[in-house]
Amino acid sequence: MSVSDWLHSFRHSSPYINAHRGSTVVLVLGGEALASDNLLNIIHDITLLSSLGIRLVVTFGARPQIQQRLEQAGHQSEFVGGLRVTPEQDLPLVMEAVGGLRSWLESRLSMGLVNSPMHGAKIRVCSGNFVAARPVGVLDGVDFGYTGKVRRVDTAGIERLLESGHIVLMPPQGYSPTGEIFNLSYEDVGSQVASALRADKLIVFTDDQGVLDEDGSLIRELTVRQALQKVAERVVSGHDADLLRAACDACTRGVRRAHIISYLRDGAVLEELFTRDGSGTLVTDDNYEQIRRARVEDIGGILELIQPLEEQGVLVRRSREMLETEIDQYVVAERDGMIIGCAALYAYPQEQSGELSCFAVDPAYRRGGRGDEILALIERMARGEGLARLFVLTTQTEHWFRERGFEPSTIQSLPGPKLATYNTRRNSKVFVKTLG
C-alpha cells in the first residue's frame, strides 16, 4: 500500500472511529481461534479497539483445550446436541483447562513490549463471577452433569468495569448460589452477555470468512429470518449453525448488529468495523416492532400467546368472546405481524384505581425490555383516565413487579367490585403502584 492509499483509508475510517467510540462490543472467540496462528494479531486488534474508546467484553471457549486435557487424563468425552456432557469426575479437568486459558489470555493482553503494537497500551483486564448458571439437567435420558446454561448476567458489575476502562474477560463458566460451577457453551455466554448489556455489536469469530452460501460465496448481509432459514435448510450446519443461532438470538433480544468474521483473516475485526464493505457477514434484526392499542384482528394472536400460561395456571382463562368484548382495554406488542406481548387495563374510576391484567410476553422475547414498554404504555393509559394507582394480582411474578415500583398490599385494598370477584382458590398476591 502506498502512502497516499494509507492516508485515504485512514481518513475514511474516522467516521467509523467516531461512531464506535463509547459503544459496547462483545467478542466471541472459540478455543480454535485461541489456538490459531493469527491469535496474536487478534490480541493486537483488541488492544487497538480498547485504545479507541470501545468498551469490550471478550468471551472465549475452550473446547479443544478441554478435549486435550481429558484425553491426557484418559477420560472419554461425550457430546449430545452440541453440548459436552460434564460428569463430576471431569469437572476438575474442565476447570483446569479453562482457568489456564484465562490466565494465558490475560498475560497476552498485558503485553507491552517496545517493538509491539501494544507498547504503552496499559490494558486492564478483569474477570469474575458475572454469570449465574443452572444445570442443563437430564434431556432425553442423558444426564448432562455439570454442563449448564446461563441463568443471569451481572450487568451492573460488568458495566462498572467497562466504565473504568477494563476489558472484561468472560470464560465459559457459570456459578450457582449453592457454590457449584458449571461448564457453559461459550456461544451461549457471548449471546446472553451481549443481550443483557444491550450491546451495540456482537462479533463472532469462525473459521470461515463469514456465512457462506450453497456455492461457497460469502453472504454479506442477513436478516435474522434469513439466517434462521439458512440453518433450517442446512446451508449452515454443525457448530457454525450454533454460532449463527447465537447471533440471531442476540439480535432478537436487543443487540443492534451481529458480525460473523474469520479468526484466520488478519485484521478481520478492524476491516469489519472500520470499512464500508466489512470482511464478514452482518446479521441484523430489521423486523418491524411496535407497542400499541389492541385491535379485533389481534385476538387470535393474543389467544395463542396466553394459552400456555392459562394451561400452567399463571393466567385466568379468557374466552374469545370475552376478548372481543374487552379488546379496547388491551395493548399488544407486535413484531413483524406476530403478537409477542399483551396486557389489559381495567379501570375503577370511583376508586381512582386500575387493574393491570392478562400481562404476558412471549418467552423468546422476555429479555428485550418488552415487558417494561408494555407496562409504560399501561401506566400512560391509566394516567390519561385520571387513575391514581395501578394494582396487579399475581401468583408467580411478584419480584418482577416489585422491582418496578409495585408494593405488596392486601385483598382489602382492592376496589369493591374486584374484591367481590376475588378468587380465593388462586390465592393471588396483591401489589399496588402509585402513579405519579
| Same domain assignment for residues 399 and 258 | no
Q: List, for residues 335-381, the tens digit of each pLDDT value.
A: 767 899 999 999 999 999 999 999 999 987 776 678 888 998 999 99
CATH number of the domain that residue 307 is part of: 3.40.630.30
| Same domain assignment for residues 321 and 419 | yes
| Same domain assignment for residues 89 and 25 | yes
Q: List, for residues 392-419, the tens digit of each pLDDT value.
A: 999 888 888 998 899 999 999 899 899 9
The average pLDDT across 229-241 equals 92
The average pLDDT across 139-161 equals 94
Q: What is the tally of structural domains in the chain?
A: 2
- What pLDDT score does 427 carry? 86
| Same domain assignment for residues 262 and 353 | no
Is a pLDDT exceeding 90 seen at residue 390? yes
How would you write the chain as a 3-class SS string? CCHHHHHHHHHHHHHHHHHHCCCEEEEEECHHHHCCCCHHHHHHHHHHHHHCCCEEEEEECCHHHHHHHHHHCCCCCCEECCEECECHHHHHHHHHHHHHHHHHHHHHHCCCCCCCCCCCCCCCEECCCCEEEEECCEECCEECECEEEEEEECHHHHHHHHHCCCEEEECCEEECCCCCEEECCHHHHHHHHHHHHCCCEEEEEECCCCCECCCCCECCEEEHHHHHHHHHCCCCCHHHHHHHHHHHHHHHCCCCEEEEEECCCCCHHHHHHHCCCCCCEEEECCCCEEEEECCHHHHHHHHHHHHHHHHCCCCCCCCHHHHHHHHHHEEEEEECCEEEEEEEEEEEHHHCEEEEEEEEECHHHCCCCHHHHHHHHHHHHHHHCCCCEEEEEECCCHHHHHCCCCEEECHHHCCHHHHHCCCCCCCCEEEEEECC
Is a pLDDT exceeding 60 seen at residue 287? no
| Same domain assignment for residues 366 and 220 | no
Q: Which domain holds residue 268?
A: 3-284
| Same domain assignment for residues 241 and 179 | yes
The average pLDDT across 190-198 equals 95
| Same domain assignment for residues 156 and 303 | no
Residue with cell 434431556: 139
Burial class (CB in 10 A: 0-12, 13-18, 19+), 320: exposed
CATH number of the domain that residue 218 is part of: 3.40.1160.10
Q: Residue type at 240? A: D
Query: 226, 259, 284 — which closes off a domain?
Result: 284
| Same domain assignment for residues 427 and 295 | yes
Query: 284, 301, 317 — which closes off a domain?
Result: 284
Q: Does residue 163 or residue 15 have the better pLDDT?
A: 163
Q: For residue 191, name the pLDDT band (cuts at 50, 70, 90).
A: very high
Query: 253, 284, 315 — which closes off a domain?
Result: 284
| Same domain assignment for residues 99 and 193 | yes
> Is 204 in contact with 259 (CB distance < 8 Å)?
yes
Q: List, for residues 250-262, the tens digit of each pLDDT value.
A: 998 889 899 999 9
- What pLDDT score does 82 carry? 86
Q: Which residues contact 344 (CB under 8 A, 6 or more apart)?
A: 326, 329, 330, 331, 356, 357, 358, 359
| Same domain assignment for residues 106 and 248 | yes
The average pLDDT across 182-193 equals 96
Q: List, for residues 100-148, the tens digit of each pLDDT value.
A: 999 999 988 887 655 566 666 678 899 999 999 999 999 888 999 999 9
> Is the whole model's pTM more than 0.75, yes or no?
no
| Same domain assignment for residues 279 and 296 | no
| Same domain assignment for residues 45 and 177 | yes
CA distance 45 to 274: 12
- What pLDDT score does 366 carry? 76
